[in-house]
Structure 1
């Protein structure tokens, strides 16, 4: 853009391309960042274009609106308008479908972001296994010394067992849910996943949750 042109060509091309009414302020805001036009230059340019008949000017109260001269555009037939309406309807349907897909993907992403990472789940499973092993050893020691346990102590131990068994079931379910979440996006089978991350299950050791 030359200094002599002062944005006139750019503004004329812009109004013709957009083919909709704009105030001088609108044109300035839309083109200033890209072309570095000053507001005074824009006002002078649209006024000059209107005087030369290259664009049209309408006054509404204290505001002037500028738009492309419609005489330069060819008439559109009813068939063309009908085809355009059909295309607009088709695009609106596609937009709705894509918007719905985006909402679903956003929901899935939010759910995944709130879940534990694979490494966190592996760590949690390992911790739970170690805790279960320690509890099992303690329980076995208590059972082996049953002849030295009073009824009150036995009742206390059974209550603790009930707590640990419930916690075992709860954490087993938690670990299972976490693995199921990972497997939704995992390309291989559950067995291959367990082997790959080194997770050992209760079933591997024939461990069964006691019935309380």
Structure 2
């Protein structure tokens, strides 16, 4: 069986879009990648396969055939098949983008959670507040300024990290929400993210 026949048979049997790498694996590497790409280009020129650019890669789907009897009904069927092929290509593109966002989300979730950072931040705020209350009973030159500066540095570091992760989380959620069919509130509930408003959190201590 020729390379053209093998590639066309694979696409026809599967009847959905594939990248050259997908076809390479699907054929158990019986053909080289360059041979597959050359074959796909030839099939596209013959209008037997549809090509679609998806970001940095191309995907291919077999063109649906219809009997050429010239009737209006057959013309409509052919147009529907073409639309189905186009929609299948778009669906493949959206699925690829969604999988990338999910991978980014999994990587983000492996880091300390927002609630953990909030708790650490709250603990530091409480500690600073207690120290300031204690300092009111002493002259300026009697308290340990070094300890105070250390705590404030730790607080600033945690606050900076919290703001950084909050921004990352917001950008990630916004990116996923672009292709999400439901509301943003439902998306947050589905992936288990709580906002500051949800937990009643506010920054209470400001350090100059």
TM-score, shorter chain, exceeding 0.5: no
Query: Shorter-chain TM-score category?
Result: 0.3 to 0.5
Larger radius of gyration between Structure 1 and Structure 2: 1
TM-score (norm 2): 0.42
